[in-house]
């Protein structure tokens, strides 16, 4: 497995590319902006690399903004999102994916999406938004705006919930072993570091049942 990361858009959203180099298959996670840079990163190590899917940790526009332009180059590539972050009532404001976007597929807690021979496991981790998910790939967690290095995502947006994000942080913190944490903004971390030093995760773990 090969992982590439690049910051896109005016607020530096982290977009990730997960590649099965042997199978020449890739997934794009959270393409928030700069579609040309994303496609260049996909082809950087292998011009024959094929994109299997676009995976969204949630539906906010800073994580989805490049999708219309990517669809011009990748018209047959499905977009995966949790159902709670997509629909006619969401197609405005923070959520700007059109409700008639084709090839949208919904995933939920416990689902697995294959990228070549790499399984991507879906964990529903609401709080920042109702449909926020964390994507678990081997020993890596793509946490979107649920868990940041030293912090967590805002919960004052519509359908955000501080209680829910604490429950999601508790669930992540209780995963066995250590993981590399690839968040939706700013730098990477490890789950063990967040268990020790992240105020919100510590609060969640101490206050959990």
- At 150 the pLDDT is 97
Percent of the chain beyond pLDDT 90?
90
What value does the mean pLDDT of the chain take? 95
Cβ–Cβ < 8 Å for 163, 152? no
- Residue range 26-53, pLDDT digits in tens: 999 999 999 999 999 999 999 999 999 9
- At 163 the pLDDT is 96
Determine the average pLDDT of the residues in 134-141: 98
Confidence of residue 99 (pLDDT cuts 50, 70, 90): confident
Q: How far from the centroid of its chain's Cα atoms is residue 47's Cα?
A: 24
Confidence of residue 92 (pLDDT cuts 50, 70, 90): low
- Is 209's pLDDT higher than 60? no
Gap between the Cα atoms of 199 and 195, Å rounded: 9
- Residue range 150-206, pLDDT digits in tens: 999 999 988 899 999 999 999 999 999 999 999 999 999 999 999 999 999 999 999
Domains parsed from the chain with CATH numbers = 2-207 (3.60.15.10)
- Of 112, 182, 171, nearest to 143 by C-alpha is 182
Q: Which tokens is 176 given?
A: 């066995």
Determine the average pLDDT of the residues in 86-107: 86
**Residues contacting residue 144 through CB under 8 Å, at least 6 positions apart:** 30, 57, 58, 63, 125, 128, 132, 133, 134, 153, 183, 184
């Amino acid at each position: 497995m090969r992982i590439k990361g690049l910051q896109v858009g005016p607020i530096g959203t982290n977009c990730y590319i997960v590649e099965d180099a042997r199978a020449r298959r890739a997934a794009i996670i959270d393409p928030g902006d700069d579609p040309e840079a994303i496609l260049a990163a996909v082809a950087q190590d292998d011009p024959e690399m094929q994109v299997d899917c676009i995976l969204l940790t949630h539906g906010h526009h800073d994580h989805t903004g490049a999708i219309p332009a990517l669809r011009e180059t990748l018209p047959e590539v499905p977009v995966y999102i949790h159902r709670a972050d997509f629909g006619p009532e969401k197609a405005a404001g923070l959520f700007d994916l059109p409700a008639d976007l084709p090839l949208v597929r919904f995933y939920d807690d416990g689902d697995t999406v294959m990228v070549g021979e790499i399984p991507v496991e879906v964990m529903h981790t609401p709080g920042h938004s109702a449909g926020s998910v964390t994507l678990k790939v081997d020993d890596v967690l793509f946490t979107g705006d649920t868990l940041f290095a030293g912090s967590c995502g805002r919960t004052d947006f519509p359908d955000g919930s501080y209680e829910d994000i604490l429950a999601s942080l508790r669930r992540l913190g209780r995963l066995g072993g250590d993981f590399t944490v690839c968040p939706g903004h700013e730098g990477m971390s490890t789950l063990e570091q967040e268990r020790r030093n992240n105020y919100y995760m510590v609060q969640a773990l101490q206050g959990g049942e």
